[in-house]
Amino acid sequence: MNSVSRYVHVLAACAVFAVASVTGVSSPDQIKALGFSPERLQRLDNVIQSTVDRHQLGGAVMYIARDGQTVELKAYGLQDIENKKPMKTDTIFRIASMSKAVTTVAALILYEEGRFMLSDPVSKYIPSFAHSVVAVPPPAGSAPDVKYTTVPVDHPITIHDLMRHTSGLTYGDGLAADDYKKANLSGWYFANHDETIGAAIDRLATLPLNEQPGQKWQYGYSTDVLGRLVEVVSGLPLDRCIEERITRPLKMVDTSFFLPAGKESRLANVYGLEKGQLVLEESTEKSDYVHGPRSCFSGGAGLLSTIGDYGRLLQMLLNDGELDGVRILSPKTVQLMHENHTGEKYARDTHAFGLGFWVNDDPGYYGELVSKGAYGWGSAYYPQYLVDPQEKLVAIFMTQLTPTGGLDLNQRFKVLTYQALIKPRAAK
């Protein structure tokens, strides 16, 4: 890692996407017609710009749409500080956990075809989970080196558990953390694994769960297991299934697990904010997404995408499963995705959880400036997105920042978006 010795800010001009539905630059009159205040949107613009100017963020892209029309689309700063390469609206980002929505959609496509029921045990399709156990504290008087013992699961992990993160799987945390590390299954990063996701998931199945299935919301490898299940049920590698059933029909031209040849110049560098200074964490030249083994398809955190591509996915969901005449999911399935599936099991003191993302089922309780029923998620690399069915709104903030040094711009993005919405719609 090399510290950024010299930072040069470049404001990238707004560009027009070649992809339909995420296009153009709106005039003040168009912005007003969509229910937003151009003056109040300037607050959002100023905050992002000032964060870049203070050298707390290398660069970013933000996108806001209402009723399928662009309100704001803008790039800021640099995607490569060392080479003074401007951020652009078609810059490619590592989207990490924003992959979960894509994989969940792929699984639900198969669900709609009658391939499985959400109540089915995962072991029906991935037999290595047939004998799952749960790590529990060792009995009193155990040897100091005994970190845990195991008990059988009360009931099998279901596909529903995978989608709502109640499987008992974490990212290698808990009593069995040392064994997860030994198995090279600690953390969400799979891009450097020289193995198939099937091999990784079979190894994961031999390790103890952190909780009994269905008992508690815990964030972790659930969607990676779901991605493997998609492979088994569809008979296709996960990358091909997603391409054939989602990205190609939706004309998402820049979404993939690893960077295709010829697109190296568009991949943003990763920076970290450490002790108030931007530090280069990963460049295109040293990225596993470019130069790695390209064999392990992480459905939970492995995809690359652009703001334009991801905007098309979210617009499809906002449109009840259809975009530009192409239907991916039924309206009832999309509705199911943003119901509260966790009840009181959600361990964080923010939101409920649906199928693939958080759901705000009570804005007053959570103290958040969004509509009831809005949903979204973020990424370890700091991007953030939300979809608001009531306001017919899609908002995305894309960047590459980890560690974040306590910066909360990705959360303030939501506040600054909604404060500019001056013609809200009544809940139905």
Cα torsion angle, 113, 107, 225, 231, sign: positive
| In contact, 104 and 36? CB cutoff 8 Å | no
How many CB atoms within 10 Å of residue 204? 22
pLDDT band at residue 18 under the 50/70/90 scheme = very low
At residue 24 the predicted structure's pLDDT band, cuts being 50, 70 and 90, is low
pLDDT at site 343: 84
Quick one: average pLDDT of 103-130?
Answer: 98
**Phi, psi of 94, rounded to the nearest 5 degrees:** -75, 120
State the Cα–Cα distance between residues 87 and 239, nearest whole angstrom: 27
Report pLDDT for 19. Answer: 37
Q: To which H or E segment does residue 284 belong?
A: none
Q: Which pLDDT score is estimated for 16?
A: 34
pLDDT digits (tens, 9 = 90+) for 226-252: 999 999 999 999 999 999 999 999 999
Contacts of 182 (CB under 8 A, 6+ apart): none
Beta bridge partners of 378: 384
Q: What is the pLDDT of residues 354-367, one digit of tens each?
A: 999 999 988 888 88
Residue 260, CA atoms < 13 Å, CB-side half-sphere: 7
The confidence band for 350, taking pLDDT boundaries of 50, 70 and 90, is low
Q: With bands split at pLDDT 50, 70 and 90, how would you rate the model's confidence at 348? A: low
Residue 305 has pLDDT above 60, yes or no: yes
Largest pairwise CA distance in the chain: 73
Tokens representing 271 are: 């920076």
**In the structure encoding, which two tokens stand for residue 40, read together?**
């109040």
pLDDT in tens, 138-177: 999 999 999 999 999 999 999 999 999 999 999 999 999 9
Is 79 in contact with 401 (CB distance < 8 Å)?
no
Residue 190 backbone phi and psi in degrees, to 5: -120, -5
Before 403, cis peptide (omega within 30)?
yes
Per-residue confidence band for 14, with pLDDT thresholds at 50, 70 and 90: very low
**pLDDT 10s digits, 261-272:** 999 999 999 999
Q: What is the pLDDT of residues 60-100, one digit of tens each?
A: 999 999 999 999 999 999 999 999 999 999 999 999 999 99
H helix or E strand, kind and range, residue 212: none
Percent of the chain with pLDDT over 90: 88
Could you tell me the pTM of the whole model? 0.93
315 Cβ partners below 8 Å, 6+ apart?
21, 22, 65, 68, 323, 394
